[in-house]
Amino acid sequence: MNSSLNCSESGEAIQKHYHVILHYERVGKAESKFEAMQDTLMGNTVVENAKVTLIEIDTNLPVSLLTE
């Protein structure tokens, strides 16, 4: 087991919640906004070139996803 994990008394990993912020910008050529979005989502370029920030949040914080 990873020593950096917080564990309960029974030895199980304690699940935490995180707010993940992904910032990625690009200038793309496309015929429509939809095509520009699809071109951006294809492949791993967004994740590889993005600035990612993780903030631990309270597990009781009510969170509503923008999309599901």
Nearest to 28 by CA among 41, 15, 19: 41
Work out the pLDDT band at 2, boundaries 50, 70, 90.
Answer: very low
Q: What is the pLDDT of residues 34-67, one digit of tens each?
A: 988 888 777 566 777 888 899 999 988 888 877 7
12 lies in some domain: no
Work out the pLDDT band at 4, boundaries 50, 70, 90.
Answer: low
pLDDT value, residue 1: 44
Q: What is the 3-state secondary structure (H, E, C) of the chain?
A: CCCCCCECCCCCECCCEEEEEEECCCCCCCCCHHHHHHHHHCCCHHHHHCEEEEEEECCCCCCCCCCC
Mean pLDDT computed over 12-30: 85
46 lies in some domain: yes
pLDDT value, residue 31: 94
42 lies in some domain: yes
36 lies in some domain: yes
Q: What percent of the chain has pLDDT over 70?
A: 85
9 lies in some domain: no
| Ramachandran area for residue 9 (φ above 0: left; ψ -120 to 50: alpha; else beta) | alpha
